[in-house]
Structure 1
Amino acid sequence: MDQSENSVNSALNMVAPIFDGENYEVWAVRMQAFMEGADLWEAVEEDYDVPPLPVNPTTNQLKNHKEKVMRKAKAKSCMFAAVSPSIMIKIMKLQSAKGMWEFLKKEYEGDEKIRGLKVLNLLREFERQKMKENESVKDYIDRLVDIINKVRILGTEVDDVKIVQKILVSIPEKFEATVASLENTKDMAKIKLSEVLCALQAQEQRRFMRKEESMRKDESVEGALIANAKINSTGNEKFGEQSIESCKHCGKKGHPHWRCWKRPDVKCRKCNKMGHVEKICKEKNTENVEIEANKAEE
């Protein structure tokens, strides 16, 4: 097996780009590159005829004849493998890879007028684009570049300056400082798209780092508050048992049992009885009782 046949077999082991009826122009570029890498593009581009072998063919004639026949067959097989089932139905009766290629080009690429309408629609879509709230700078720029690349594939040249201008007028206000810096330090007619991307990503990264730092501080404060709350709810603090448990002497809440006015170990200074303090004493004429008791002792 020679080098040419090895390259064909190795390329066929790779996955060909699949065409499903959308973005024909992109698929056509990728598919042509794939076929060229597999050494099959000649069979698509020229659709050469394979002459019959002579009566007594030489070894080289047999080899060349087999190679040309196999290349055409593999090119046709490759085209079948590179389209979706619904597209394959349209090309399955065609006899050559070249016939299939030309059919798809006529069916999906269209004439110059159709390509012009596609370009117009793409440019309108490009102008409508705005950066989403949670979208990264890179994702937004990639979205814009993808649209412009489709325009370029259709044959319309678009400079990167157009993309740069679109970015600077459509990104959120939070990037205003970076935009102003670029406008003051760079020639906006010559600035590269990569420079704009790097500058905006740098500010985006700084904002992200500040946000993370702020979140860490908030989490630290919240953790301290939770820890304090747990201590107060489980400890023997004033406001813990006061607000939850009832006093074992009077049955009321709002004070610990050792401060209750009805403690059994406290003596009233009015009636000289145990079990309560004078503030809640219900005895009457206490002072007269004490005076008479003193006289009797004398």
Structure 2
Amino acid sequence: MEIPYSSTTQRPPTLDGSNYAIWKVRMRVYIKSIDEKAWQRVLQGWSPPRRTDGEGDFLLKPETDWNAEETKTSNMNNKALNAIFTSLDSNMFVPVTNCHCAKQAWKKLQMHCEGSESMRRTKRRILTTQFENLRMEENETIDEYERRLRKIENEAIDLGDAISNERILSKVLRSLPKRFQMKICAIDESKDT
């Protein structure tokens, strides 16, 4: 049976409001895949070129007078902004409707989805509590437990509070059900002989 040919059209990930942590990671890579300089516009921002008039006041420079570098920088901002805009569902588009700078749109979405710095601190405390209280259930597989653990780890990373590998390993060993702990002890004892 022949597999039908399909072109791989890159589409940005969709942000619906409930998946910001995943969207943020994928979107960073998506914009970088367009052009590394487009991602720089998200980080550094962009504003239309200006010139001074005879009295020393700053005025927007007409687009027809932009030099090659100004045009290129604007183009990178527009590529990043387009990627952000096309990744949003209609509800998520509302907060960024009037943004003309990719950095501004990115920050507004971050504030909309993650909240203020004090809100992020609260979320980090909640994640720390979830991490400390996490236990592997008797009927749960190691893969299922790891998925739950990695979800907390990824959310912590997104909030700027990475959990060390040592802490994760310690957590796993402390929270394994007795059936796994006995196997680990048996393996450890066989290594000593």
Matches within 5 A, 1:97-136: 97-136=102-141
Between the aligned residues of both structures, percent identity stands at 27
- Gap change, CA 1:67 and 1:112, over 3 Å in 2: closer
Distance (whole Å) between structure 1 residues aligned to residue 18 and residue 24 of structure 2: 11
Number of residue equivalences: 169
Q: In 2, are the aligned partners of 1:145 and 1:163 still within 8 Å (CA)?
A: no
Distance (whole Å) between structure 1 residues aligned to residue 47 and residue 187 of structure 2: 57
How far did 1:115 drift?
1.6
Distance (whole Å) between structure 2 residues aligned to residue 43 and residue 98 of structure 1: 6
Distance (whole Å) between structure 2 residues aligned to residue 185 and residue 120 of structure 1: 40
Q: In 1, are the aligned partners of 2:45 and 2:101 still within 8 Å (CA)?
A: no
For the pair shown, the structure with the greater C-alpha radius of gyration is 1
Partner of 1:24: 20
How far did 1:88 drift?
0.7
Distance (whole Å) between structure 1 residues aligned to residue 45 and residue 149 of structure 2: 37
* Residue 88 (structure 1) aligned to one of 80, 88, 93: 93
CA deviation map 1:31-82 (0-9, x unaligned): 222212211223333214255335xx9xxx6x76765554333322211112
Matches within 5 A, 1:159-178: 159-178=164-183
CA deviation map 1:272-291 (0-9, x unaligned): xxxxxxxxxxxxxxxxxxxx
Matches within 5 A, 1:1-298: 13-39=9-35, 40-44=38-42, 45-50=44-49, 52-54=63-65, 67-181=72-186
RMSD (CA atoms):
3.0
How far did 1:182 drift?
5.7
TM-score w.r.t. structure 2 length?
A: 0.70
Distance (whole Å) between structure 1 residues aligned to residue 156 and residue 74 of structure 2: 38
The one-letter amino acid of 1:41's match is: W
> Which ranges of structure 2 fall in alignment gaps of 5 or more residues?
1-7, 50-60
> Which ranges of structure 1 fall in alignment gaps of 5 or more residues?
1-10, 187-298
TM-score w.r.t. structure 1 length?
A: 0.48
Residue aligned with 1:49, SS = coil
CA deviation map 1:109-135 (0-9, x unaligned): 333322221111112222333334443
Q: In 2, are the aligned partners of 1:16 and 1:82 still within 8 Å (CA)?
A: yes
